[in-house]
Every structure is written in C-alpha cells, then in structure tokens.
C-alpha cells in the first residue's frame, strides 16, 4: 500500500518506519529542512530506542521535504503533525490545518486522510469540510486514528498495541484499514467507532492516566505525613483487578508532550460543550503545584549559605527519551537557581534538547561528575543508568551525602546503610 506520512516527529517517524517494516511503500514528509537533511543522511533527529536501526533497515522508506503532487498516488495520507497547547489551553491546530490545506490540492479519488495527531472532537468533520472546499474529488474519507505510543517505548508500543482505535463514517473503508495494519496486529485489535468517539477516546485515555498519577502523588504526600509507604499502598491498590497496577508510581508530577496539553484541551472541549470537566481542572492545578513544591522540599534541607552545590540527575520528562516538553526540570531548575544555588546537570540523552531551554547550569558527562563535591543530588528522571550507579563511589565524592530521589529508584534501607541522607517520595 502506498502511504504518505506527514510529520517526522516522534509519532510520524515511528509510524512511518513501522509501516515500512510491515511491507508498505512509505514516504515521510516534514517541512523542517534541518530534520529532513539529517534523515536523508540516515541520522534520526530524535532519540527513540531502536528507531535508527529500524529506519536504516527499511531502505524503501523515503523522506521528502515538501508536500507535492507525489502524494496524489498514495492510498493513505496520514497526518502526524504537532497539536500543542494555545495559551487558552485549547489545542493549537495551526500545523494541522496548514497541512490539510496543502494536501487538499493532491487528494485523489478514494484517498483516505488519516488523522493520527491528537485532535479535539469535531476536528475530522472540519478537515472534511476544508478538503471538500478545495478538492475536485468528493469520494475521499477523513478517518480518525489516534496514536497511543509512549516515547521511549514507541516502536514496541506501535507494533504491540492494546488496541487500534479507528473512527470512520464509511464502512466500506474498513477493509483498507485492516490491510494497513494487517502485518502489524491481528484484526481483533482494531476498534471501529464513530469519528467523534475515536477523537474523544484519545483525550479520555490520557486524562485517566494523568488522574491516576495525580491521585497516587497526593496519596504519597499523605504517606509522608502518616508514616506509610506509598510503594506498598500502590501495590495493595493495584492488586485489585478492577484497578490494576499501572500508573500508580509516585513522582515529581507528569510532563511530556501529551498529558498536560491533552488534559487542558479536554477541559476546553468540556467548556465549549457546556459539560465541565471539574476533575481534570483539579488535575492540572495539582500537577503544577507539585512541580513547584519540589524546589521547596530541596531548599528546606539545605543551609544555602554554606551548601549551594546541587546536582541534578535527569532532566527529560521521563527516561528513554530526549523530549523536554513540560518536563518537571523546567520548573525545578530555574527555581533552584533563583534561590542562589549552583546547579550541575547530567542527563544520558537530554542535553542537546535541554540546553536550548535550561541555562546557567553546568553540564556534566556523568552522574559521578555531578556528584563530585555536591551538597545534594536530586533525581528527577529514572534512567536505567541511575539505577545501576555505584552508590559507594557516589557517597565518597559528595561533600554532603544527601540525595532527594523523586523517582523512588533506590531502596531506603540500603541508602541508610551506606550512610546517605536519603529522601524519596511517599516512603516515610
């Protein structure tokens, strides 16, 4: 099947590579010339485990800078451009509509325009109207097919999805969708719904996951006050099959390119349709409060006149990605700098992206370099590398062996035995 994927970001690149690997004839298009040049030289512009290898292996996957009439021969045009937040919280659909405008000149008879980007309810209807106004064909279909992959695990998630949600109007196009995914998943993984339900499923899923994170974080705060252990509490809750164990890890609050923006967008959709999403409003407030509170917790432990060297381990919004969007570090580090601390930072993959956003810090090449002479180490991202660290070596090099671990990656008893002053989240 000939497919054009528009957008060479986390979702577009992974989708294009996986569809090519499944035997389709795929062109991935992006209007960012720098990204495109890198891709043409077989360099992947983002960090995503396994993606470089998958792209290199699939020689049939092509890259193109422009949306041109070449896409007219594609059965499927898949749009995976960004849909960030406007200041109002609503989704900014500028990239999407610009892209739709461009492709509408090249729609052929029977083209399926698949919206992979996360878009508010009703967007597919709008896209259909826009194309109808421009195109000479009216036998195309706009289909909603939101993506659920997680950065850092994206390829695995794309080829092993829990479900693939497809919102369409014309039942006769189901066969093409089945063919699109046939070498990736069995047919029973495909959930066909209306377009509006499909659009809402994506937002509601992310909101549910974020709600769980905020919930367990607030329970963790309570654990700290009453002397309970949030790991045990989460385990005990998660063993109930009605609840399940996932997304019950206490931490520094959620970030990333999806949760904050998608929840805000769903709140706005609720307002637009006079159906307030009050629970989600408190999720956003709770998460912001949490990120702000991290620096206070650190400062409370330090005598900053004498102890002002703080090392940060991990700045990306989570491990195994270089994505910095809405990362807790973007709140914490400026707050610590403002308080007068000297900050040194190490992240296994995040420095390139992070150094565009975080200034006035010293970048180091390893966790040990960060620890050297520091009065406090703060763990913000749970990279595997940090879990395998030589803690004795760390202890020996620190000026004050104080660690605030916002990801609960170490065992408090072992840390105590080693002599650390060890603080973590919700574990007494």
Catalytic residue flag (residue 258): yes
The residue from 213, 258, 266, 343 that contacts ligand NAD (CB under 6 A) is 258
* 329 touches ligand NAD by CB under 6 A: no
Which residue, chain included where needed, has tokens 């202890």? 395
Tell me the closest approach of the beta carbon of residue 148 to ligand NAD, in angstroms. Answer: 6
The residue from 19, 26, 28, 31 that contacts ligand NAD (CB under 6 A) is 31
* 29 touches ligand NAD by CB under 6 A: yes
- Region near ligand NAD per CB under 6 A, out of 2-10, 134-142, 191-199, 305-313: 2-10
Q: Identify which of residues 8 and 367 has a Cβ nearer to ligand NAD in the complex.
A: 8
Tell me the closest approach of the beta carbon of residue 104 to ligand NAD, in angstroms. Answer: 12
Q: Identify which of residues 24 and 261 has a Cβ nearer to ligand NAD in the complex.
A: 261
| Nearest residue to ligand NAD, scored by beta-carbon proximity | 9
Q: Find the catalytic residue in 124, 223, 258, 376.
A: 258
Is residue 228 helix, strand or coil? coil
The residue from 7, 255, 311, 328 that contacts ligand NAD (CB under 6 A) is 7
100: its two tokens: 């739709």
Q: Identify which of residues 224 and 322 has a Cβ nearer to ligand NAD in the complex.
A: 322
The residue from 3, 4, 5, 11 that contacts ligand NAD (CB under 6 A) is 11
Q: Which of residues 210-249 bind ligand NAD (CB under 6 A)?
A: none
Q: Identify which of residues 35 and 427 has a Cβ nearer to ligand NAD in the complex.
A: 35
Tell me the closest approach of the beta carbon of residue 14 to ligand NAD, in angstroms. Answer: 8
Distance from C-alpha of 77 to C-alpha of 19, rounded to nearest angstrom: 13
Tell me the closest approach of the beta carbon of residue 133 to ligand NAD, in angstroms. Answer: 18
Cβ 147 vs Cβ 164: under 8 Å: no
Q: Which of residues 70-109 bind ligand NAD (CB under 6 A)?
A: 80-83, 95, 98-99, 102
Q: Identify which of residues 84 and 245 has a Cβ nearer to ligand NAD in the complex.
A: 84
Q: Identify which of residues 31 and 277 has a Cβ nearer to ligand NAD in the complex.
A: 31
- Region near ligand NAD per CB under 6 A, out of 5-13, 237-245, 329-337, 415-423: 5-13
Cβ 115 vs Cβ 95: under 8 Å: no
Tell me the closest approach of the beta carbon of residue 258 to ligand NAD, in angstroms. Answer: 5
Nearest residue to 260 via CA among 285, 294, 292: 285
* Residues 45-74, mask of contacts with ligand NAD (x by CB under 6 A): ----------------------x-------
Distance from C-alpha of 186 to C-alpha of 163, rounded to nearest angstrom: 10
The residue from 8, 332, 336, 370 that contacts ligand NAD (CB under 6 A) is 8
Cβ 345 vs Cβ 363: under 8 Å: yes
Q: Identify which of residues 6 and 280 has a Cβ nearer to ligand NAD in the complex.
A: 6
Tell me the closest approach of the beta carbon of residue 202 to ligand NAD, in angstroms. Answer: 7
Is residue 344 helix, strand or coil? strand
Tell me the closest approach of the beta carbon of residue 259 to ligand NAD, in angstroms. Answer: 10
Calculate the alpha carbon distances from 260 to 91, 141, 149, 206, 328 in Å: 11, 30, 16, 9, 11
Alpha carbon 174 to chain centroid distance? 29
* 44 touches ligand NAD by CB under 6 A: no
Tell me the closest approach of the beta carbon of residue 351 to ligand NAD, in angstroms. Answer: 18
Nearest residue to 30 via CA among 78, 93, 86, 84: 78
Catalytic sites, residue numbers: 258
Q: Which residues bind ligand NAD (CB under 6 A)?
A: 6-12, 29-32, 35, 67, 80-83, 95, 98-99, 102, 117-118, 147, 149, 151, 257-258
């Amino acid at each position: 099947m000939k497919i054009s994927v528009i957008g060479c970001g986390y979702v577009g690149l992974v989708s294009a590579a996986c569809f090519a690997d499944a035997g389709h004839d795929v062109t991935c298009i992006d209007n960012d010339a720098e990204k495109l040049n890198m891709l043409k030289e077989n360099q992947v512009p983002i960090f995503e485990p396994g993606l470089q290898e998958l792209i290199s292996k699939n020689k049939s996957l092509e890259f193109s800078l422009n949306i041109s009439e070449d896409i007219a021969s594609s059965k499927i045009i898949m749009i995976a451009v960004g849909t960030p937040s406007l200041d109002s919280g609503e989704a900014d659909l500028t990239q999407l509509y610009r892209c739709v405008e461009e492709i509408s000149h090249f729609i052929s008879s029977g083209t399926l325009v698949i919206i992979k980007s996360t878009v508010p309810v009703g967007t597919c209807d709008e896209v259909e109207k826009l194309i109808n106004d421009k195109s000479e064909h009216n036998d195309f279909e706009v289909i909603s097919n939101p993506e659920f992959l997680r950065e850092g695990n994206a390829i695995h998630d794309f080829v092993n999805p829990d479900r693939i949600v497809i919102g369409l109007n014309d039942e006769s196009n189901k066969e093409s969708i089945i063919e699109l995914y046939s070498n990736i998943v069995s047919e029973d993984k495909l959930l066909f719904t209306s377009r509006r339900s499909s659009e809402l499923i994506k937002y509601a899923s992310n909101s549910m996951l974020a709600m769980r994170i905020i919930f367990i974080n607030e329970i963790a705060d309570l654990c700290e006050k009453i002397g309970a252990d949030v790991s045990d509490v989460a385990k005990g809750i998660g063993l109930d099959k009605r609840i399940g164990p996932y997304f019950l890890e206490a931490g520094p609050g959620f970030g990333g390119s999806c949760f904050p923006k998608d929840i805000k967008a769903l709140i706005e959709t609720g307002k637009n349709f006079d159906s307030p999403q009050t629970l989600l409003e408190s999720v956003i407030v709770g998460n912001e409060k949490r990120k702000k509170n991290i620096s206070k917790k650190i400062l409370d432990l330090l005598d900053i006149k004498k102890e002002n060297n703080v090392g940060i381990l991990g700045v990306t919004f989570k491990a195994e990605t270089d994505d910095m969007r809405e990362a807790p570090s973007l709140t914490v580090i400026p707050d610590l700098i403002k308080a007068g601390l000297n900050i040194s930072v190490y992240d296994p993959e995040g420095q390139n992206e992070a150094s565009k956003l975080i200034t006035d810090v010293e970048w180091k090449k390893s966790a040990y370099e960060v620890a050297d002479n520091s009065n406090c180490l703060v763990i913000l991202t749970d990279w595997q590398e940090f879990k395998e660290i030589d803690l004795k070596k760390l202890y020996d090099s620190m000026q004050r062996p104080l660690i605030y671990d916002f990801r609960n990656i170490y065992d408090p008893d072992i840390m105590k035995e080693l002599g650390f002053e060890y603080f973590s989240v919700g574990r007494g």
